[in-house]
Amino acid sequence: MGYIIDDHGEDRLGRIDSRKNLEPPQELRGRFQFQHRQFLPYSWQLTTEAGYTSDKNFLEQYYRSEFNADKEQETIVHAKRLEDNWALSLLGKWRLNDFADTMEELPSAEFHWTGQSLWNDKLTLYSDNQVSRFRQRLGSDGQPAPSGDEGSPVLQDFFTFGSTRNELDMPMAVGRSKVVPFVAGTVGYEDGSGFRTEIDGDPASREDEVWLGEGGVRVSTPAYWKVYPDVESQLWDLSRLRHVIQPRLTAVAYTQSDSVVEQRDALNLGVSQRLQTKRGPADKLRTVDWMRLDVDFTWVNDSGDTSAGPDRFIWNRPYIPLANTYDRRFGQVLLPPQDRRSSNVFGPARNYIGADYLWQLSDTTAVLSDLNYDMQSGVVQQFDIGFSRRRWPGLSYYIGSRYLRRLDNGLGEKGSNALTFAATYELDPRYTLVFSQQMDLDYGLNIRSDITVIRRYHRLYLALTYSADESLNQHAVVISIWPQGVPEMAIGPSRYMALGTTN
């Protein structure tokens, strides 16, 4: 895909002064992207990508959704063989855009062996291995890398990174529960800037060679349930009720060669609950979740003094890899790779309670919510709640609130409390109307308003959108055209394609 424009305007990337009225470096701007995957004999597959952009702000200005949510623009050659329970990969990654801060890999080799049975299933082996030649390349407007072990040096010469992690599990049954004690060892090496950050973020003496030991247990109990056969309600669409509870637990402790590779011991207790009922015609009753509530409690040792926002414990794999090669810009600030070599931003850092809730009132109506509560400060870090409804024959709508704790993002704003409303209404077989609105209640400001009319022809769809994006101080009228069944041939944005089709 490609796009080119003779641009005589200014970029508007945000609401604050430093993010608007930005003069592009040249008038001829654009991008080109190539992606190809080839399946080869012996279970090999080859992936190649090339991504060229004329300047650093082009994607954010013209392809904002892609800039925010899609994978980064890369120029790579990646060969992978995946067979049975093992995989081997080779990666070469180069910088094509000289304005980009890129971690080049020339090359990286990885080997993964997952769930290998030993001694007739008495033990299970997991092995993850990586050897890489890295080079961190600053963008054309980047600052020179500082010298020494202090600060956050960015090395522009090649250096070597290697790590191996091997885990042995001993799965067993205790009654009806599944219990998996495990031990693991990790060895890491890096001759660039080395490992040099304490777990609280303080700088430390550089270490090139480190090791980390861990031991713990994972427990998954059977589901406990009870049936209430006498529950009947036309109002709530209930025909019998079954309450299902399934707890789980993970505990892990670490030991290490040096404080620069320390990770936090953690205990996680999770409980999944379901209230299930029967719905549908009498001869085709089906089991559905009427309510669903998943709660997890996480405790860590040596918890951080400040919170970095809502954390999430990945309960079956608490270990954090030693290397992460992805870095990016947020506004005008370079965010380096967040990993154990040079950062304390990884994994849950504080004790918290997390919850996800769904109430399926009917096949067309639902309430959904999630929450993150910091137990140490007694602060709700995040709370979302929404109501989704579809009414026959052609109206569906959503209203919801998203609250984020007031954390300074470095750009003059602290947190967010947003209210969102969206509705789709089929006026008749030919016309569909879509409206969406989002307000930030903390600042009393409109974020964005969109109204779209979709016209359905025999084999063609046309959408006309008026958009007022106050976060960018930008108003637009947008036309989209796409043929039925061939979305790749669309002209204009494709976000409303699914809404114009027949059900």
Distance, CA of 253 to chain centre: 26
Model confidence at 477, pLDDT cuts 50, 70, 90, reads: very high
**DSSP sequence for 95-163:** ---TTS-EEEEEEEEEEEEEEEEETTTTEEEEEEEEEEEEEEE--TTPPPPP-SSSS-----S-EEEEE
Q: What is the pLDDT of residue 112?
A: 95
Model confidence at 433, pLDDT cuts 50, 70, 90, reads: very high
Helices and strands in the chain, H and E counts: 2, 28
The mean predicted confidence, pLDDT, of the chain is 86
**CA triple 227-230-233, angle to 5 deg:** 110
Q: How many Cβ atoms from other residues are within 10 Å of residue 326's Cβ?
A: 12
Q: What is the pLDDT of residue 18?
A: 81
H or E segment at 62? Answer: helix 58-62
What does the alpha-carbon distance between residue 92 and residue 47 come to, in Å, rounded to a whole number? 11
What does the alpha-carbon distance between residue 197 and residue 190 come to, in Å, rounded to a whole number? 14
Q: What are the beta bridge partners of residue 295? A: 271, 355
Question: Is this structure's pTM higher than 0.85?
Answer: no
Q: What is the pLDDT of residue 55?
A: 92
Between these two residues, 139 and 461, which has the higher pLDDT value? 461
Model confidence at 385, pLDDT cuts 50, 70, 90, reads: very high
Total residue count of the chain as it appears in this document: 503
Answer yes or no: are the C-beta atoms of 482 and 493 closer than 8 Å: no
Could you report the per-residue pLDDT of 336-367, keeping only the tens digit for each? 556 777 766 677 888 999 999 999 998 899 99
Question: CA nearest 462: which of 486, 479, 485, 484?
Answer: 479
Whole-angstrom CA distances from 410 to 203, 404, 406, 443 are 22, 15, 12, 17
Per-residue pLDDT for 144 more than 60?
Answer: no
Answer yes or no: are the C-beta atoms of 279 and 252 closer than 8 Å: no
Task: Name the CA radius of gyration of the chain, rounded.
Answer: 26
Q: What is the pLDDT of residue 373?
A: 92
Whole-angstrom CA distances from 322 to 106, 149, 189 are 19, 18, 10
